[in-house]
Amino acid sequence: MTQKERYEAAKEMYAAVGVDTDAAIAALKEIPVSLHCWQGDDVTGFDHDGPLTGGIQTTGDYPGKATTPEQLMQDMEMALKLMPGKKKLNLHASYAIFEEGEYVDRDKIEPKHFAKWVEFAKERNMGIDFNPTFFSHDKVKDGLTLSSPDEETRKFWIEHGRACIRISEYFAKETGVPCVMNIWTGDGYKDIPADRMGPRMRYKDSIEQILAEPFDKNLVKPCVESKVFGIGVESYTAGSAEFTLSFAATHEGCLPLMDNGHYHPTEVVSDKIPALLCFFPEIALHITRPVRWDSDHVVLFDDETKEMAKEIVRNDALGRVYMALDYFDAGINRISAWTVGFRSWQKALLNALCTPNKELKKLQDENRMTELMVWQEDIKTFPFGDVWEEYCRQCGVIADKSWFDAVRTYEEEVLSKR
Ligand code: RNT
Ligand code: ZN
């Protein structure tokens, strides 16, 4: 059978359960997913020489990591070619690009320091998302930034946040696509604090001061990302789930951002997505793979990933959920890591779009739970691979694992010479 024939056969099988695979493919092509620049250089950035801090860690020392803006862009370009679908670029403030001999601190960064990224994004028809960088910097005082009791420190980081709002608006204006600006800090304590509310009150005030910077709410979408704990900050996190969710709920235009690595191991974000959608017009996600903790392994096409995508699709929320990848594996080829993760999320979305959601909901509402189980198990072995292959073909990318040949060649010709 040719690929075309296999797709036609699959299409028929899906049609029999009420799924239009052509429509699924067409829909997926229009859904932007944000690709994080930081997988390419182990979250290092270009504005400092110090270590990665903030309670996050990259592990591994696979050779060939990008160390300059040119290398990072070149590597990302390579990865982009291997991914089907619509992409957005996700940048951190630490990826500012300075002229030879120029340097400004994070409270003084300006749109011009990101002009090269704008050029990169525009050439590839991508919007841009942005993240102030509240870590890996000598002004992180005693592990604290926006929640610091030291007013000078706190002021510095507030100014950084405000500078990032201005840069986010510039991205949106340049690309014509709204910019999601995510606030995450690793602020917290290794051991039992004596004051849990004080840091949170300061954090609250700091975010309010950042959001007081004037901006167009249609262009900039500020988010607050929660976390349960980080390495070295195991006992207390200022930006906990309750804190960030309450902040977003009480500040118009501010979105909650859930990173599925930031919860206790038996909690699942797939169940939290519909809960938040009952209250928030829009929400944001960081999609990762936590292995026992917030380990930021490469996203795979696994059960929870599929379930998260299903919750977005079956609740008709593709236009309400901003999706971004967030992981960093330094132990394998970084271009491959980018590619596998992006393709996995694409597969999860396509799989969700090829699920007979209406029929399944009906079974649930009619309390036909036995049949619901039978159906849900049955569709698991439908010929999804044939639909994926057709999607990749239409997007002009290789469907099977042979895309890796190009990565191997690139590794030999480019990465190994660094
Ligand atoms: C850290 C958060 C945060 C970072 C990026 C680099 O635990 O997930 O989103 O991963 O900002
Ligand atoms: Zn995250």
Taking the centre of ligand 1 as the mean of its atom positions, its distance from the CA of residue 184, in whole angstroms, is: 7
Tokens describing residue 375: 């159906």
Average of per-residue pLDDT values in the chain = 98
Whether 227 lines ligand 1, by a CB cut-off of 6 Å, is yes
Taking the centre of ligand 1 as the mean of its atom positions, its distance from the CA of residue 93, in whole angstroms, is: 13
Whether 38 lines ligand 1, by a CB cut-off of 6 Å, is yes
Question: Which residues lie below 8 Å from residue 123, measured CB to CB, with a gap of 6+?
Answer: none
The pLDDT of residue 306: 98
What is the per-residue pLDDT across 154-213, written as a single tens digit (0 to 9) for each?
Answer: 999 999 999 999 999 999 999 999 999 999 999 999 999 999 999 999 999 999 999 999
The pLDDT of residue 361: 98
Atom of ligand 1 minimally distant from the CA of 296 = 10
Give the number of whichever ligand sits closest to the CA of residue 55. 1
Taking the C-alpha atoms of residue 398 and residue 382, their distance in angstroms, rounded to an integer, is 21
Give the number of whichever ligand sits closest to the CA of residue 133. 1
The pLDDT of residue 36: 98
If you count them, how many residues does the chain have? 418
pLDDT average, residue stretch 89-96: 98
Q: Residue 32: which pLDDT band, with cuts at 50, 70 and 90?
A: very high
Question: Which residues lie below 8 Å from residue 219, measured CB to CB, with a gap of 6+?
Answer: 168, 169, 172, 173, 178, 179
Q: Ligand 1 pocket test: which of 52, 164, 184, 227 has the largest number of ligand atoms within 8 Å of its C-beta?
A: 184
Residue bearing the CA closest to ligand 1, atom 1: 56
Residue bearing the CA closest to ligand 1, atom 10: 326
The pLDDT of residue 250: 98
Share of the chain above pLDDT 70, in %: 100
Whether 184 lines ligand 1, by a CB cut-off of 6 Å, is yes
Please state the pTM of the whole predicted model.
0.98
What is the per-residue pLDDT across 352-411, written as a single tens digit (0 to 9) for each?
Answer: 999 999 999 999 999 999 999 999 999 999 999 999 999 999 999 999 999 999 999 999
Question: Which residues lie below 8 Å from residue 386, measured CB to CB, with a gap of 6+?
Answer: 3, 6, 7, 9, 10
Q: Ligand 1 pocket test: which of 37, 56, 90, 263 has the largest number of ligand atoms within 8 Å of its C-beta?
A: 56
The pLDDT of residue 169: 98
Most confident of 47-51, 99-103, 232-236: 232-236
**Catalytically active residues, by annotation:** 184, 225, 227, 259, 262, 286, 294, 296, 326
pLDDT average, residue stretch 106-117: 98
Residue bearing the CA closest to ligand 1, atom 7: 56
Q: Residue 300: which pLDDT band, with cuts at 50, 70 and 90?
A: very high
pLDDT average, residue stretch 269-292: 98
Whether 322 lines ligand 1, by a CB cut-off of 6 Å, is no
Taking the C-alpha atoms of residue 372 and residue 268, their distance in angstroms, rounded to an integer, is 21
Residue bearing the CA closest to ligand 1, atom 3: 184
Q: Residue 218: which pLDDT band, with cuts at 50, 70 and 90?
A: very high
Taking the centre of ligand 1 as the mean of its atom positions, its distance from the CA of residue 199, in whole angstroms, is: 20
Q: Residue 20: which pLDDT band, with cuts at 50, 70 and 90?
A: very high
